[in-house]
Amino acid sequence: MLADFAEVVQPGTREESLLASLVWERLPRHVAIIMDGNGRWAAQRGQPRIAGHRAGVEAVRASVDTGARLGLGALTLYAFSTENWKRPRLEVDALMRMLRRYLRLELDEIDRQNIRFQAIGRIDALAATVRREIARATERTAGNTGMVLSVALNYGGRAEILDASRDAMQRLLREGRKIEDLTEEDIAEHLYTRGLPELDLLVRTSGEMRVSNFLLWQAAYSEIYVTDTLWPDFRRLHLLEAIADFQRRDRRFGGLKLVANAK
């Protein structure tokens, strides 16, 4: 795996030593990122918020590239929440425009890296121009077998659980089963993230200690990593630091720490 980084990581750098210290068998299978802090990044420079979003695209590129080189099973990026419609129209439009542009410009590279793209959220409510770009990227990469890149758009964790519960109930009734028969698996099978590995690591940039309606179901036992770095400054080094930190965690899932010969 280190070989996958040979062309982009310089010898003697902190990135190289982090890569060398990773335990490859214990990489997180699924990493999700709440990409936050674009507005503050711009404000610090006396620029409009939109300049922060534009700068954030480079951080998306770096994270996707790093995730693919590491061989993660899934990378899920929170790009637009069901609550972000509250923002000024100009900002919302700019975000949608940037998303379209990102997909147009990056599709070849995404495909080349064997990444399978999908959008998760209430996609039907997005503008037709955005949906078209999403459909193109999804179809073009549908046969790819590497990392699954999910971009969360008009995404809300509560909306997702509600939608999944409704769909699960409908199937249940169709199959003649009773409401008491509904299981966690029934719901999980109808989430947008069905088929993806368990969410191991949830990263948030810009120091905010909240989940802001992201992956509420999936994060039940995820490790959470918050960095003060603002999203536009986030690069390969920061993602590697998050993963190295993840590997130092003691995951118990409600049980007890595994100790050799414990009775």
The residues that touch Mg ion, with contacts defined as CB under 5 A, are: 36
Whether residue 115 contacts residue 68, with contact meaning beta carbons closer than 8 Å, is answered with yes
Q: Which of 42, 250, 66, 243 is nearest to 149 (CA)?
A: 66
150 part of the interface to ligand IPE, by CB under 6 A: no
Helices (H), ranges, the chain: 14-21, 38-44, 49-70, 89-112, 128-141, 157-174, 184-188, 236-247
Both tokens assigned to 162: 């509600």
Residue 15 vs 133, nearer CB to ligand IPE: 133
Residue 60 vs 187, nearer CB to ligand IPE: 60
- Tell me how far apart the alpha carbons of residues 84 and 11 are, in angstroms, rounded to a whole number: 41
Give catalytic status of residue 84 as yes or no: yes
Residue 15 vs 225, nearer CB to ligand IPE: 225
Residue 139 vs 208, nearer CB to ligand IPE: 208
- The nearest distance, CB 134 to ligand IPE, in angstroms, is 16
Whether residue 156 contacts residue 81, with contact meaning beta carbons closer than 8 Å, is answered with yes
- The nearest distance, CB 152 to ligand IPE, in angstroms, is 7
Residue 203-242 contact track with ligand IPE, rule CB under 6 A, x = bound? ---x-x-x-x------------------x-----------
Residue 53 vs 190, nearer CB to ligand IPE: 53
Q: Look-up: residue for tokens 């210290």? A: 21
Q: Other C-beta atoms within 10 Å of 236: how many?
A: 21
- Tell me how far apart the alpha carbons of residues 74 and 120 are, in angstroms, rounded to a whole number: 13
Give catalytic status of residue 124 as yes or no: no
Q: Which of 15, 36, 106, 223 binds ligand IPE (CB under 6 A)?
A: 36
Partner whose footprint covers residue 108, from ligand IPE, Mg ion, none (CB < 5 to 8 Å by kind): none
- The nearest distance, CB 111 to ligand IPE, in angstroms, is 25
* Residue closest to ligand IPE when measured from CB atoms: 39
The one-letter code for the residue type at 1 is M
Both tokens assigned to 205: 């940039």
Q: Which of 99, 17, 105, 110 is nearest to 68 (CA)?
A: 110
Instruction: Name the site residues for ligand IPE (rule: CB under 6 A).
Output: 34-40, 49, 78-81, 84, 95, 206, 208, 210, 212, 231
Active site residues: 36, 84
